[in-house]
Amino acid sequence: MLPRVLDRGPFRLLFAGQAVSSLGDRIVPVALAFAILDLTGSPTDLGIVVAARTLPLVMLVLLGGVWGDRLPRQLVMLASDGVRCVAQGLSAGLLLSGQAHVWQLAALQALYGAAQAFFGPSLTALVPQTVEPAELQQANALIGLTDNAASVLGPALAGALIAILSPGWALALDAATFVVSTFCLALMRVDRAPALSRSSTLSDLRDGWHAFISRPWLWLSVMFFTLYMAFAYSPFQVLGPQVARASLGGPGAWAAISAALGAGALAGGALSLRWRPLHPLRVGFLSFLLAGPAMLAGLAAHASLAVLLPLALVDGVSGSLFNALWFTAQQSEIPAEELSRVSSWDYLGTLALQPVGLALSGPIAAAIGVSSALYGAGGLILLLGLAILAVPSVRNFTARRDGSSPINRVNT
């Protein structure tokens, strides 16, 4: 039996477009990595291209939130998809023609990152315009499920395309996914959310900041993830493969752990389709306390795969469940005319310190040892989790169960 929310025509189109686009997004990291390494063989050049993509995203995401509240969100997303389609299409063309240079790919990926900054805040705010308030968690869970499935299938598809054809063809497929997403968005019919009154961009940014900071449950949770992504998740990304190579048998072990995380994420998405806890943030952060430190401690102790795979499965469940609960909380509690700007602060907080954490994980491990660094990251999650759960507005945050919401009703 299909989830009821798929009966909504606008959401069905949004869901289909995002499912295809998410698959393309997961192809890109593998395709870009091999494209640059084939081109120059330099990890430094790869770092330059990845940084060129990330920096505009961080710099422009708040502006993306302003535009998402000023303009029809559907239009903002269509423009973003169009720009990203062009960026990836040109990147693919350069690689396939044999004319690509690192500076060209860096410039095109910077254009991609700039466009992506406008997409995310508008997507978060558009979902409530496609479903009824009581259906928000189910809608977020379905979008999360497709994203998690793409995280498993995308790298495998990228590897097959690169092995059979070339990285350029993998990027061309990503460009094609944006055509599908654009087509789906263009067919959607939703009521326009209340627009901002005309004012300066600085004023809109300031109002968005006030709307964000006026909700302690929101900004404190975002602060948790700023620190978590930088100093807990980044060591996992950087040091986990090193542990796999040193004590678990090599890349195959890390691939198995990654697959277990993906399988857990799918299970977490399925769980969030049906479970609506009364206190969603309490459940979400408790799941982090259960899963994250255990996974990091298992890696730090050089546990066997028989131990690490179940831990990874639980970790994947917790992350996917939290995401569905988190986006639903924002969409249910924040008025439509503020939602893009407020969610842009969430995006910024998640990204802000992650490059720092990625850069520092290696040097810290070199100074104190890989195991100590991983134990430290796990201990940090415990401390942060206990601290955030001590905040009454987070711990006692209550889900709306009657379908009431500050967000406009939608077309069917």
pLDDT at 410: 34
SS3 for 391?
coil
Q: Give how far Cα 264 sits from Cα of 52, 268, 270, 287, 384, Å.
A: 32, 6, 10, 13, 23
Average pLDDT over residues 165-189: 89
Q: Which fold has domain 7-186?
A: Growth Hormone; Chain: A; (1.20.1250)
What letter represents residue 76's amino acid?
Answer: V
Cα–Cα distance for residue pair 264/249, rounded to 1 Å: 22
249 has a pLDDT exceeding 60: yes
Tally helices (H) and strands (E) across the chain: 16, 0
What is the pTM (predicted TM-score) of this model?
0.76
Sorted by where each begins, the domain ranges of the chain are 7-186, 208-400
Higher pLDDT residue, 254 or 172?
172
Cα–Cα distance for residue pair 266/315, rounded to 1 Å: 11
Which residues lie closer than 8 Å to 60 by C-beta, 6 or more apart? 114, 117, 118
Q: Which fold has domain 208-400?
A: Growth Hormone; Chain: A; (1.20.1250)
112 has a pLDDT exceeding 90: yes
Q: How confident is the model at residue 408 (pLDDT cuts 50, 70, 90)?
A: very low
Task: Give yes or no for a contact between 190 and 126, defined as CB atoms under 8 angstroms apart.
Answer: yes
251 has a pLDDT exceeding 70: no
Nearest to 236 by CA among 88, 377, 112, 349: 377
| pLDDT above 90: percentage of residues in the chain | 19
Q: For the segment 282-341, what is each residue's pLDDT rounded down to a tens digit?
A: 998 998 888 889 999 999 999 888 899 999 999 988 888 888 888 888 888 888 778 888
Give first-to-last CA distance, the chain, whole Å.
20
Q: For the segment 59-84, what is each residue's pLDDT rounded down to a tens digit?
A: 888 888 888 888 888 899 999 999 99
pLDDT at 400: 62
Q: For the segment 117-170, what is each residue's pLDDT rounded down to a tens digit?
A: 898 888 888 888 888 887 888 888 888 888 878 877 877 787 788 888 888 898
